[in-house]
């Protein structure tokens, strides 16, 4: 950690890691898959060169927030058993010359629903316990299935780290630190990097044999079964062009509705807190007034005064609910909104294209 002063600015992912994460994520879909990534930190660019999945272990709900992990895999990265597993694996990898430095962890997500306590706690654990310069790679399985690969790298911002460490999420603290939901994560640009061998291999995959000019096929079936009919894997994914709108929107609406529900609960909690606080405050004021008049009476009667700060013992102010959940929820909604936006951008384009194609005269209007 000699060059600690250089902040992490980008993430470079090896093709191997991309494939491994995709494989692991899609294998265990729709449950969350998590694993560890190893690599090297080169002048602020985190090079991720290998990865391995975590075993799914049953773990007791030891999270220091009351919601227990619904899925053991999601909590796996910070489980104790896995720390051992990870150390063991890294030691083994070092023996075969793999960059044996733990640089973070990955998780799979479904439609961008990765902003939750688990991710936060995992990343917090990594940045605090293991190594400050770690990232969380999020691979969105359902979005990748739709066409374009969705792989993103996140870190917790230093501001959020301090707040989370002290669990300061009351209105007053947030007020002071000016922490907003946009400040939870810092996203790092992700770049995919191929080794020389893989570059050569990919080139080879792409063009099987194209030396001699090909003969024309003799029949329709020959054409369809010929070597060129096989779709090339490396071409852009034509699933992109498909006009399926409703499933995506439906799923997003569901997710948004869930978020609204959460938001509603949070607001209700907060309101409840406000009400009980106000009630307690009113009681205290009443008590203080009573004490004051009593003291005034005692003063006139020349009796010793009663202490006026006894209310601190008699009344207990309600605990303010943590604002963290609503912050996360806002961040999650922002994520959904962005996702819908980008989907809408490409979909409207496609729809106008289809319309223009099917109704040629109309476009001139």
Partner 1 sequence: MADTDSFVHLARPLGPVAVGSAPTTAPVNVVIQPQALFSILDHSLRRNADQERVIGTLLGTRSEDGTEVEIRSTFAVGHTETTDQVEVDMEYQKQMLALHLKANPKEVLVGWYATSSELNTFSALIQNFYSGQGDGTWPHPAVHLTVSTEAGKDIETRAYISAPVGVTAERAADSAAFIPVPYEIRYGEAEKSGLEAIAAARDAEERSANIFTDIEALERAIEEVLGMIDRVSRYVESVIDEEAPASTAMGQYLLNTLALAPKVEPADIERDFNNHIQDVLVVSYLANTIRTQMELSNRLATAQLTLGGEGSGESGAQRGGQRGGKGGRGGQQRTQERSGEEARA
Identify the residue among 301, 314, 345, 364 touching partner 1 (CB under 8 A): 345
Read off φ and ψ for residue 4, nearest 5 degrees.
-65, -25
* Nearest approach, Cβ of residue 306 and partner 1 (Å): 25
Site for partner 1 in 175-194 (CB under 8 A): 175, 181, 189-194
H or E element: which one contains 336? Answer: helix 324-358
Q: Could you say whether residue 144 binds partner 1 (CB under 8 A)? A: yes
Q: Could you say whether residue 212 binds partner 1 (CB under 8 A)? A: no
The DSSP symbol for 130 reads: I
* Nearest approach, Cβ of residue 11 and partner 1 (Å): 10
Q: Could you say whether residue 171 binds partner 1 (CB under 8 A)? A: yes
Q: Could you say whether residue 349 binds partner 1 (CB under 8 A)? A: yes
Identify the residue among 236, 283, 299, 310 touching partner 1 (CB under 8 A): 236
* Nearest approach, Cβ of residue 66 and partner 1 (Å): 21
H or E element: which one contains 195? Answer: none
Cα(26)–Cα(24) distance, integer angstroms: 6
Identify the residue among 264, 279, 290, 292 touching partner 1 (CB under 8 A): 264
Identify the residue among 62, 88, 132, 308 touching partner 1 (CB under 8 A): 88
Q: Six-digit token pair at 283?
A: 């009681």
Q: Using omega within 30 degrees of 0 as the cis cutoff, is the peptide bond preceding 30 cis?
A: yes
Site for partner 1 in 101-140 (CB under 8 A): none
CB 164 within 8 A of CB 124: yes
Q: Could you say whether residue 341 binds partner 1 (CB under 8 A)? A: yes
Specify the residue, 69 or 90, whose C-beta has the smaller distance to partner 1: 90
CB 90 within 8 A of CB 52: no
Q: Six-digit token pair at 271?
A: 């309101």
Nearest one of 154, 88, 98 to 122, comparing CA atoms: 154
Q: Could you say whether residue 71 binds partner 1 (CB under 8 A)? A: no
Q: Could you say whether residue 8 binds partner 1 (CB under 8 A)? A: no
Specify the residue, 63 or 252, whose C-beta has the smaller distance to partner 1: 252
Cα(215)–Cα(209) distance, integer angstroms: 13
Q: Six-digit token pair at 330?
A: 């806002």
User: Interface with partner 1 by CB under 8 A: which range of 1-9, 158-166, 293-301, 320-328?
Assistant: 320-328
Q: Could you say whether residue 365 binds partner 1 (CB under 8 A)? A: no
Q: First-to-last CA distance in the chain? A: 63
User: Interface with partner 1 by CB under 8 A: which range of 60-68, 110-118, 154-162, 211-219?
Assistant: 211-219
Q: Could you say whether residue 299 binds partner 1 (CB under 8 A)? A: no
Identify the residue among 58, 172, 313, 364 touching partner 1 (CB under 8 A): 172
H or E element: which one contains 156? Answer: strand 151-156
Q: Could you say whether residue 96 binds partner 1 (CB under 8 A)? A: yes
Cα(139)–Cα(146) distance, integer angstroms: 13
Specify the residue, 127 or 185, whose C-beta has the smaller distance to partner 1: 185
Strand ranges in 199-355 using DSSP code E only, listed in sequence order: none
Specify the residue, 249 or 294, whose C-beta has the smaller distance to partner 1: 249
Identify the residue among 66, 166, 238, 365 touching partner 1 (CB under 8 A): 238
Q: How many CB atoms lie within 10 A of CB 180?
A: 12
Q: Could you say whether residue 268 binds partner 1 (CB under 8 A)? A: yes
CB 57 within 8 A of CB 82: yes
């Amino acid at each position: 950690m000699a060059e600690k002063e250089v902040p992490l600015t980008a993430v470079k992912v090896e093709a191997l890691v991309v494939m491994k994460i995709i494989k692991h994520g899609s294998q265990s879909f729709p449950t969350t898959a998590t694993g560890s990534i190893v690599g090297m930190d080169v002048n602020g660019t985190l090079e991720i060169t290998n990865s391995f999945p975590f075993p799914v272990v049953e773990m007791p709900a030891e999270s220091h927030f009351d919601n227990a992990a619904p899925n053991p895999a999601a909590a796996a990265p910070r489980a104790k058993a896995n720390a051992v597993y990870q150390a063991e694996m890294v030691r083994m990898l070092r023996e075969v010359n793999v960059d044996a430095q733990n640089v973070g962890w990955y998780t799979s997500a479904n439609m961008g629903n990765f902003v939750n306590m688990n991710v936060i706690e995992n990343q917090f654990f990594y940045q605090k316990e293991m190594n400050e310069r770690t990232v969380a790679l999020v691979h969105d399985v359902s979005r990748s299935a739709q066409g374009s690969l969705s792989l993103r790298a996140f870190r917790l911002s230093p501001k959020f780290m301090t707040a989370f460490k002290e669990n300061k999420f009351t209105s007053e603290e947030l007020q002071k630190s000016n922490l907003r939901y946009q400040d939870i994560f810092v996203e790092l640009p992700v770049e995919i990097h191929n080794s020389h061998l893989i570059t050569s291999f990919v080139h080879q995959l792409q063009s099987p044999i194209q030396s001699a000019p090909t003969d024309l096929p003799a029949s329709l079936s020959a054409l369809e079964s010929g070597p060129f009919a096989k779709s090339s894997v490396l071409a852009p994914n034509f699933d992109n062009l498909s006009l399926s709108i409703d499933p995506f929107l439906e799923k997003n609406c569901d997710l948004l509705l869930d978020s609204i529900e959460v938001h509603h609960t949070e607001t209700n909690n907060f309101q409840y807190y406000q009400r009980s606080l106000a009630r307690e405050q009113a009681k205290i004021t009443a008590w203080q007034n009573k004490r004051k008049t009593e003291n005034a009476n005692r003063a006139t009667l020349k009796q010793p005064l009663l202490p006026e700060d006894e209310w601190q013992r008699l009344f207990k102010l309600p605990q303010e609910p943590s604002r963290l959940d609503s912050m996360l929820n806002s961040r999650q909604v922002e994520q959904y909104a962005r996702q819908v936006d980008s989907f809408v951008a490409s979909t409207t384009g496609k729809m106008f294209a289809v319309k223009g194609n099917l109704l040629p005269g109309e476009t001139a209007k």
